[in-house]
Structures are given as structure tokens and as C-alpha cells.
Amino acid sequence: MADATTPVTEIKRKMHFKGRVVKITTAGAIVDIGLDRPAVVHISQLSREPIRRVEDVVQVGQEVDVWVRRITPKGIIELTMIEPYTWEWRELKPGVVVTGKVIRILNSGIEVEIGAPVPAFVPIAEMSHAFIRHPSELVQEGDEIEAKVIEVNRRRRRIRLSMRALEPKPEETQTEGEEERVPSPMEMALLRAIEEAKTKAANSTGQVREDALARVQELERILRNLRGESNRPGLN
């Protein structure tokens, strides 16, 4: 959080100040944030909800939390009392890594609050390289997670993330001193089929999803047997 000692030249968008309302007008309020120049809040920036009068939200002398919107060419600091998003739509692009809190667990994945205009979604197939039947096997509501943006659709108000994109792929994990093993054509075919079945499970519901999950388990059993791993509890 910035304070009164922050040089004007270092003031940036989204900086947070504690201020005091010193004047009210029909167009908004003037707020003292401890600097030597005007700081104003337009009436449209007092609340996310539409308001008719400035006095309905603030009074002279009231202490308020404000964030910098911009500095005009004349040096006037425009503020907002609406806490800005951590991530604006224009800032979210595939490949960007974000952190957030799990706010809802579904059969098909998890919803995550990342400080964007809408919650982001992590499909179950994008939660881990390992097979999981339900997202609750990995996370609980309130958990903090890190993920990579894989899709942003502003028109549909949709943000999709991947947790497994930040994990090393299983075939890239190699024990020290172990020779690199090249998968056989049969193994490659099984791995592709497993990924396809996981994707189908993540995008389906009801019996279709259950059938897809059963197919994943069966294909992984075949792959374990092929690799001579039949005594292991599961694939990594």
C-alpha cells in the first residue's frame, strides 16, 4: 500500500491509499491522500452499484480506501473506491501463471478466485498428470493453488486454467542414473487413448463420464502390465 511519502512520480495504477474526504460535489468527491495535488473520485467510482447522490456513499471527514485509476495530463490524480481486479481481461493471456483460492469443487473440476472479473475454472483433466476420480482427491475449498492460463474468452466470460501445465510430465521424470527409456508404439497408443478418455470424462456427466473413467482405469491397467508394473498401485 502506498502512503503520503510516496513520490508522485512513483504513483501507478491500482496503488492503494488511505484517504480522507475533504469536499463533496455533485460530480464526486475530493480526497486528501497526503500529496500536494488534487485527488478526485468521480461519482461513478464510489460504488459498483449505481448511486444517485454522492452523499449516499461518503461524507466530508470520512476516511476511505481508494485506488489510483490514472493521472491526467494536468496532474490530477483520479481515484476509485471500487477495489480493482488483480487481473483485468486485457492482462489475462494463455501462458500467464496465476495464483488463486479454490472456491467451489465440482465433479468436472474446480472454480478458483484469482482476482479477475469472473472465477476461473480448472477442468479435472488439467489438475494433474495422474489419474483422479474427483477433484477433492487433490484440493479442498479454501486451498491456494497455482496454475497456468490456457484459455480466455471475454465474450463468454470464461477463464480456463491448468495446474498440470506447471508440473513435469511423467515421461520427463527420471531417476538419477536411470537410462532414458523410449516408449514403444503400443505404449504411445495407450497413453494417447488414456488422455482422450480423461478429456472425455472431464467434459461429460452421468453415465458417459463414469464409462470414460472406467476406460481410463482399464487402459492404465493394460499399460502397467505392458510395462511390467502390475504390482504397483497405480500410474504416476
Q: Which DSSP string corresponds to 4-43?
A: TTS-GGG--TT-EEEEEEEEEETTEEEEE-SSSS-EEEEG
Tracing cell 484440493 back to the chain, one arrives at 139
The pLDDT value given to residue 126: 93
**pLDDT of res. 36:** 81
Measure the CA–CA gap between 209 and 25, rounded to whole angstroms: 59
Does the structure show a pLDDT above 80 at 158? yes
**Which helix (H) or strand (E) is 22 found in, with range?**
strand 16-25
pLDDT-derived band at 232 (thresholds 50, 70, 90) equals very low
Q: How much is the average pLDDT of 16-36? A: 93
Report the percentage of the chain scoring pLDDT > 90: 55
- Among the residue ranges 72-76, 115-119, 182-186, the one predicted with the least confidence is 182-186
| Nearest residue to 42 (alpha-carbon basis) of 54, 33, 32 | 54
pLDDT value of position 155: 94
Could you give the CA distance from residue 2 to residue 12 in angstroms, rounded to a whole number?
A: 10
pLDDT at 180 > cutoff 70: no
Mean pLDDT of 210-220: 86
